[in-house]
């Protein structure tokens, strides 16, 4: 799907993860689903996450951007913000996603911007605004993530059944 762009993280976030032996810029991606859908994270900080996604390849039968594709972009951006808010000792798990679709899009890129509504110790809620290339609002979403302590094995692939 093309080359992954380098995500812009605040230096203090890079330093926090580096102190734990994690090269955050090298590790970071939009996940397998986000990669398949062409999601690109352009900027990532706890107070603002920006990403894009192509419309092509993410449409429903009428040729419009699929609402589920907008949900994937929204959850990806809100989860990244939640993860960065929680810090290296927490894992962000989405528990509620609400999307309102305002207009259809047939081509080009959509851009999502996630900003926090609430950042607490155990939950984080982000509003994600997805716009078309003309700046018109396509979707408004709200994601709440549970922030739980990292446990051994988090982030490691699951063992195959029977193995």
Q: Which is the catalytic residue, given 16, 75, 133, 159?
A: 75
- Whether 3 sits among the annotated catalytic residues: the reply is no
Produce one character per residue of 10-46: b if its CB has 16 or more CB atoms within 10 Å, e if not.
eeebeebbeeeeeebeeebebeeebeebbbbbeebbb
Distance of CA 16 to the CA centre of its chain: 20
How many C-beta neighbours within 10 Å does residue 105 have? 24
Picking from 70, 72, 14, 18, the residue whose alpha carbon sits closest to that of residue 45 is: 14
- DSSP conformation letters of 57-110: TSB-TTSSBPHHHHHHHHHHHHHHHHHHHH-TTEEEEEEEEEEEE-----SSEE
Please report, to the nearest 10 degrees, the dihedral formed by the alpha carbons of residues 65, 70, 72, 75 taken in order: 170
> What amino acid positions are annotated as catalytic residues?
75
């Amino acid at each position: 799907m093309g080359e992954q762009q380098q995500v812009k993280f605040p230096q203090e976030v890079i330093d926090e993860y580096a102190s734990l032996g994690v090269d955050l810029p090298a590790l970071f991606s939009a996940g397998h689903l986000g990669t398949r859908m062409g999601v690109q994270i352009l900027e990532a900080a706890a107070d603002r996450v920006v990403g894009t996604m192509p419309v092509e390849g993410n449409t429903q039968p009428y040729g419009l951007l699929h609402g589920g594709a907008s949900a994937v972009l929204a959850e990806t951006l809100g989860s990244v913000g939640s993860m960065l808010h929680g810090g290296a000792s927490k894992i962000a798990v989405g528990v509620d996603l609400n999307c309102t679709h305002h207009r259809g899009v047939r081509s080009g890129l959509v851009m999502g911007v996630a900003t926090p509504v609430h950042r607490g110790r155990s939950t984080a809620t982000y509003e994600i605004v997805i716009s078309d290339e003309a700046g018109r609002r396509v979707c408004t979403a709200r994601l709440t993530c549970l922030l739980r302590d990292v446990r051994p094995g988090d982030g490691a692939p699951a063992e195959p059944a029977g193995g």
